């Protein structure tokens, strides 16, 4: 008879699910954590943290290169690419190791460094040892991985995804990026600043096609001035047999030292043998959850990229808080997605919350729209900012329906709209009637909302 180890909670994955695990172990519960890779999840090891630390270096390089327009004659003598990559990844690995050591030292955590699959609704079997563990409650937080489209020869060729781009063996002189979403634009910004020639191949009509159309148009314009951008261009083949890698797309052949696929991410649900549980998934593989983060099986929860909500670290953290509270309270709490923001750390930055104008048009909802340019504010003039603007969408009653920003510090400015939508009345007046510091950059928010 196979022995089954019993736990109060089993957490599959070591990203935001660790918040739930730590909260319960602090209350004396026995928790198992299953994680075959580095501790800390996608964000720490292969996503948000390493990418933004690298991008900060790119921002510094860009400031130096643009300093002459401010009357400052500076010179960029050298970019120590290998040192930058090594230091950033060393810092990330150090944080991951610290998490692992903390779990291993905990009396109430049990860490399993193997892959696992379900053999029953609340029982998982470890892939290497064959051990089985059962949880009174289960939390599936197994994350996601890069999606590779079904293109001829991809199985036989070497190429990058975001994983390799964040820790490459060398700096390529040229890089083809397939895709035009946030990962593509962030990595293009970094590698261009490091001195790599960038080509972007995007099958859609605009880069960042899910953003408000005015934002997408502006980003496509600014990116085209900096990189070799080809929109409406679908990739049909890839070949790495020659000196350079070749990509066939739109009837043409493009060549570069490396090719990176930045074509989205897919949930890791297909690696968990969920068919043994009755846990329902969507057509695209996300685990179906209700507002309380419960799956179709009692006492089995899911959160983060593997679940059917937004693939954002801050939403995963919010979902972890909901799961933790519900395990303690008996499912009294629901996740709130009414104002989920996002930011893209390319140059210029992009941020948004709420509906886009396209979505409002498609739904037939009546709305008002206003924009205000950074250049028409004192700080915008000081920054010589010619491309940035804030766009506000509101209902006829003044309700804030959406806010979209492109320009410096967009990821910070968006929080003014967030506070109004989540903690204020949710109306335009929350921002319009607030005194703003002159000539701080946030005047552009004040003036955009005052247009309404």
Active site residues: 438
d(CA 24, CA 228): 51
CB atoms within 10 A of CB 216: 23
Interstrand relation of 235-239 and 245-249 (parallel, antiparallel or unpaired): antiparallel
Residue 241 token pair: 């047999």
Residue 229 token pair: 């951008």
d(CA 380, CA 362): 33
Of 319, 278, 314, 311, nearest in space to 297 by CA: 278
Write b or e for each residue in 165-176: b if 16 or more Cβ atoms lie within 10 A of its Cβ, otherwise e: bbbbeebbebbb
**Displacement of CA 392 from its chain's centroid (Å):** 23
Residue 196 token pair: 């790599």
């Amino acid at each position: 008879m196979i022995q089954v180890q019993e736990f109060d909670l089993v957490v599959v994955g070591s990203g935001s699910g660790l918040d739930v695990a730590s909260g319960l172990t602090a209350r004396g519960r026995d928790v198992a954590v299953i994680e075959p890779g580095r501790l800390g999840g996608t964000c720490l090891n292969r996503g948000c943290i390493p990418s933004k630390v690298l991008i900060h270096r790119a921002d510094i390089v860009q400031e130096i290169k643009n300093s002459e327009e401010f009357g400052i004659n500076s010179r960029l003598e050298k970019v120590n690419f290998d040192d930058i990559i090594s230091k950033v990844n060393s810092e990330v690995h150090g944080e991951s190791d610290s998490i692992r050591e903390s779990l291993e030292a905990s009396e109430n955590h049990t860490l399993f460094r193997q892959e696992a699959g379900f053999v029953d609704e609340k029982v998982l079997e470890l892939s290497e040892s064959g051990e089985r563990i059962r949880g009174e409650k289960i939390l599936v937080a197994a994350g996601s991985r890069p999606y590779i489209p079904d293109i001829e020869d991809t199985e036989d060729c070497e190429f990058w995804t975001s994983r390799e781009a964040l820790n490459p063996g060398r700096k390529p002189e040229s890089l083809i990026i397939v895709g035009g979403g946030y990962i593509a634009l962030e990595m293009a910004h970094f590698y261009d600043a490091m001195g790599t020639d960038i080509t972007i191949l995007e099958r859609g009509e605009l880069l960042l096609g899910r953003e408000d159309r005015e934002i997408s148009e502006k980003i496509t314009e600014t990116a085209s001035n900096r990189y070799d951008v080809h929109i409406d261009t679908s990739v049909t083949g890839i070949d790495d047999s020659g000196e350079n890698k070749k990509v066939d797309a739109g009837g043409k052949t493009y060549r570069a030292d490396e090719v990176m696929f930045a074509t989205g991410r897919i949930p890791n649900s297909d690696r968990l043998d969920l068919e043994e549980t009755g846990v329902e998934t969507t057509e695209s593989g996300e685990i179906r959850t209700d507002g309380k983060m419960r799956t179709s099986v009692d006492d089995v929860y899911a959160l983060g990229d593997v679940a059917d909500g937004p693939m954002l670290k801050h939403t995963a953290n919010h979902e972890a808080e909901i799961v933790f509270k519900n395990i303690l309270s008996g499912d009294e709490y629901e996740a709130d997605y009414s104002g989920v923001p996002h930011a893209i750390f390319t140059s210029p930055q992009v941020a948004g919350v709420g509906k886009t104008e396209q979505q409002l048009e498609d739904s037939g909802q009546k709305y008002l729209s206003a924009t205000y340019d950074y250049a028409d504010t004192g700080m915008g003039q000081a920054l010589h900012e010619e491309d940035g603007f804030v766009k506000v969408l509101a209902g006829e009653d003044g309700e804030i329906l959406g806010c979209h920003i492109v320009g410096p510090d967009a990821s910070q400015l968006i929080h003014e709209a967030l506070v109004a939508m989540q903690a204020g009345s949710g109306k335009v007046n929350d921002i319009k009637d607030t005194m703003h510091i002159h000539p701080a950059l946030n005047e552009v928010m004040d003036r955009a909302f005052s247009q309404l």
